[in-house]
Amino acid sequence: MGNTSGDGNKPRNFDDAATSWDDEPRRVRLASEVAAAIRAEVGVTRYMTALDYGCGTGLVTLCLQPHVGTITGADTSDGMLQVLREKVASRGVANVATVHLEPDQETFPSESFDLLVSSMTLHHVEDVAKLLVEFYRILRPGGVLAIADLDAEDGSFHGHGLAAAHSGFDRERMRVMLVKAGFRGIRDTTAATVEKNDAAAEIRTYTVFLMTAEK
């Protein structure tokens, strides 16, 4: 499933991309559509303690922030987190925290969150099955996981010399991994479509799924 080896493509440097990340309207639109889909599929309430894993500049975090009790944006990129911190400060928002993650390091105590969302991040994570087990551990009993990511694609989504760990996901394989991690009540829907130019400058359409699951 991975596509980082042998093709000369490199993972994106998110620190370098951070300050201009939000300049791309399709990213802002996608995050807004993903957040709307999460709210449509999950009973999001102001009593919830939420985590946005791989929050980036907080595009999804800040769409959900008015509707939850607290939300923590967690990311491996300090550059992305700094952009989110600046947005939080300029908006005077009080219920958003940020956490810098070291890859593969357990950071959160068990059973900390009612809602765990992750949008467009899992395709950058090598060992997704292991991460899902970690997600299960840090959700409270009855807590909900909401994953938005690319449906399986041909590797053209990143293009331009960039690579990710996975070229999207087959929904059935994701479902199997979720069950193995302990999740139940798994549902999926199509949250959004993304149009991008491929290497030949042709417009390609990619679909983004939302899978929800309960602990």
- Chain positions contacting ligand SAM, by CB under 6 A: 14, 27, 31, 54-56, 59-60, 75-77, 80, 101, 103, 119-121, 124-125
Burial annotation 176-191 (CB, 10 A radius, 16+ → b, else e): ebbeebebeebebeeb
DSSP state, residue 101: P
**What's the token pair of residue 208?**
């983004």
Query: Which residues are CB-contacts of 168 (< 8 A; sequence separation ≥ 6)?
Result: 123, 149, 150, 151, 152, 153, 157, 206
Least separation in angstroms between residue 54's CB and ligand SAM is: 3
Provide the 3-class DSSP secondary structure of residue 40.
Answer: helix
The CA distance from 183 to 146, in Å, is 11
Least separation in angstroms between residue 136's CB and ligand SAM is: 16
How does strand 96-100 pair with strand 70-75? parallel
Least separation in angstroms between residue 30's CB and ligand SAM is: 7
Task: Map tokens 């991690």 to a residue.
Answer: 181
Least separation in angstroms between residue 207's CB and ligand SAM is: 15
**150 vs 213, beta carbon nearer ligand SAM:** 150
**75 vs 114, beta carbon nearer ligand SAM:** 75
**77 vs 212, beta carbon nearer ligand SAM:** 77
How does strand 203-214 pair with strand 139-150? antiparallel
**65 vs 77, beta carbon nearer ligand SAM:** 77
Return the residue nearest ligand SAM (CB atom): 56
**56 vs 168, beta carbon nearer ligand SAM:** 56
Least separation in angstroms between residue 166's CB and ligand SAM is: 11
